[in-house]
Amino acid sequence: MMPFIHLGPVAIPTFGIMVAVAMVAAYYVLRADLARRNLAPKDSALAEKLIAVPCLAGIIGARLYHVLETPRDLFGDPIGQLFSRYGLAWFGGLIAGLATFLWIARRNKIPLLAILDAGSPAAALGYGIGRIGCLLSGDGDYGVPTSLPWGMSFPNGLVPTTERVHPTPIYEFIVACAIAWVLWKMGAAQIATSGPTLAKGAGMGHPKNQGFRSQGAVFAAYLVTTGVARFLVEFIRINPRSFFGMTNAQAASVLSVIAGVALWWWVNRRQPHEGRESTPG
C-alpha cells in the first residue's frame, strides 16, 4: 500500500487524493442529475456548492464523530486525536454532510425531497471512490483475516498488518458503484413517469408536486441499500462491538434502513392522494 506520495519534501496523502477524485466524480453526476430534473442548468455553480461545502463539512463531522467515540483517548491527547492522519466515522460524515447539503438547498429554494433524490447517486458513487483511498492508505478499514485468494496485507499502511485480511474497501467500492447505477436508473424512471411538468414545464428550481408524485423514492432507496451494505460488511470488519453486539456503524446502518423504509412507505402512501388531486375534473 502507499499511504503517501512523496514529491521531494512534500508528502501527499493518497486518501486525500481519492477524496478529491470522489468529489469530482460526484460533482459530474450531481450536475447531470440536477439538469435532467430541471433543478439547475449545467452551467450553474449550484452543483459545485452542493459538493464542495458538504464534503468539507462531512470530513470535519466524520473526524469529530470518530474522536468522540473514544473520549478517553481524546482527553488524553486532544491535539493528536483531532489532527491525526487517519480515523473517520462514516455516520458522523453523513450527518454533517447531509445537514450542510440541505441547508444549501433550502437557501436556493429547492424542494428538499427533490434535491435528496438528485444527490443520492452522486453520494453513493463518491462514497465508493473514497473507500479506495482507505485501501491505498491502509488506515485500518480493512477486514478480519482470511484465507481467500484475494486477501491482502497492509505492512506499510497507516494501521499496518502483515496478515492477509479481507480488502473490505474494494467490496464497498463495488457495491457502492452498483448502488449508484441502480439509483441513477431509478431517477430516470422517476422522471419519465412524472409527466412533462418536472421535465419541461416546471422551471429551474420549482418542480410541481402534481407532476412528480414519487419525490423521495430514490433517497429512500439510497438509505436502505447503503444501510444494508454497510451493516453486512461490518461483520468482517475489525471495528469494536458496542450496541447489542453491533458496531457503531451497524447501529447507524439500522437507523438508516428504518428511516429509508419509513420514507418509502410515506412516499407510496401519498401517491394515490396526489394522483387524485392532479386529475382534471
Question: For the chain, what is the domain count?
Answer: 1
pLDDT for 200: 39
pLDDT for res 278: 43
Q: Cell numbers of 170, please?
A: 474494494
Q: Is residue 250 part of a domain?
A: yes
- Could you give the CA distance from residue 36 to residue 187 in angstroms, rounded to a whole number? 9
Residue 280 lies in a domain: no
Asked if the structure places residue 281 within a domain, the reply is no
- Does 253 map to a domain? yes
**Buried/exposed code over 68-104 (b: 16+ C-beta within 10 A; e: otherwise):** ebeeeebeeeeeebeebebbbbbbbbbbbbbebbbeb
Is 228 inside a domain boundary?
Answer: yes
Q: What is the pLDDT of residues 5-33, one digit of tens each?
A: 988 888 898 988 998 999 999 999 999 99
Q: Is 53 within 8 Å of 104 (Cβ atoms)? A: yes
* Dihedral sign from CA coordinates of 263, 266, 268, 271: negative
Residue type at position 281: G
pLDDT reported for residue 185? 96
User: Residue 27 is part of which domain span?
Assistant: 4-274
Q: What is the pTM of this model?
A: 0.82
Residue ranges in the chain whose pLDDT is less than 50: 195-212, 275-281
